[in-house]
Copies of this chain bind each other. A is one copy, B any other.
Amino acid sequence: MVNRRRAPRTDTAPPFRADDGRWQELLEIAARIFARKGYRSTTLQDIADEFGVLKGSLYHYIRSKDDLLFEVVRSVFSTGLDNLRRLAGSEHDPVERLRAVIRGHVLYLIDNLVETTVLLHEFDQLSDERRAEIPIREYQTIIAGLIADAKADGLVKPDVDPQLAALAVLGAANWVYRWFRPGGGRMPEEIANQYADMLVDGMLVRGELRPASGLR
């Protein structure tokens, strides 16, 4: 488990109070409450209570509840995207890169379970303007690109549609937020490896040899 936290989120920039050490804490509290109660059902009073301030003091950090949702979503999305891009751009052949991307996506999701729950379950609650700031289709584009590359190399079955296959990969991987519970008896690496192998092997030309597991 030592190497698991390979992609800590580090890019969160507060919109107003970059110098306040409690901003990260506020975001973590908001994410936890959004994940537990749902965004719509969460009040600023809930957040202030857990943050240990009067509700009015929250306006030191934010203008509205939407600011908190946006920062939680933006942060976990963009660090996850950087992670995916790094894995997708490694030197391995496209099939191995695809395995690495799926593994990395599952591990990142599990490592940031609360925030990815908010991203995946509450994204539509963002205002139109703020949704437009988050290139949510990028994950699909990256994965479909790798599948198309592998198909061009003759490694993926000719009848596989890269976009559909990418959606299947993302669905399987993203769904982990719906059932994974820390301490529930599943090791994140086990899930990540099984998903990567099953999803990738399902696209490959029949009889294609599995590459050596150099990345494990």
Which residues of A line the B interface, CB within 8 A? Answer: 38, 40-41, 121, 125, 159-161, 164-165, 167-176, 178-179, 186, 190-191, 194-195, 197-203, 206-210
Contact of A201 among B40, B172, B201 (CB under 8 A): B201
In the complex, are the beta carbons of A191 and B171 less than 8 A apart?
no
CB contact under 8 A between A167 and B161, given known A40-B38, A197-B202: no
CB contact under 8 A between A175 and B186, given known A161-B194, A203-B198, A207-B207: no
Contacts of A160 in B (CB 8 A): 194, 198
Total copies of the chain:
2
Contacts of A208 in B (CB 8 A): 206
Q: Give 20 A-B pairs besides A161-B194, A172-B199, A202-B203 with Cβ atoms closer than 8 angstroms.
A: A160-B194, A160-B198, A161-B190, A165-B194, A168-B175, A168-B194, A168-B195, A168-B198, A169-B172, A171-B171, A171-B172, A171-B175, A171-B176, A171-B178, A197-B202, A198-B202, A198-B203, A201-B201, A206-B210, A207-B207
In the complex, are the beta carbons of A194 and B40 less than 8 A apart?
no
Contact of A202 among B173, B176, B202 (CB under 8 A): B202
Contacts of A121 in B (CB 8 A): 121
Q: Nearest Cβ in chain B — how far from A116, in angstroms?
A: 13
A194 to B161, CA, bound (A): 8
Contacts of A210 in B (CB 8 A): 206
A16 to B48, CA, bound (A): 43
In the complex, are the beta carbons of B164 and A190 less than 8 A apart?
yes
CB contact under 8 A between A164 and B178, given known A199-B198, A202-B199, A206-B210: no
A39 to B202, CA, bound (A): 37
Contacts of A165 in B (CB 8 A): 194, 198
Could you list some 20 contacts between A and B, CB below 8 A? A38-B40, A40-B40, A159-B197, A160-B194, A161-B194, A164-B186, A164-B195, A167-B175, A167-B179, A168-B198, A168-B199, A170-B175, A171-B172, A172-B172, A172-B199, A197-B202, A201-B201, A201-B203, A202-B202, A202-B203
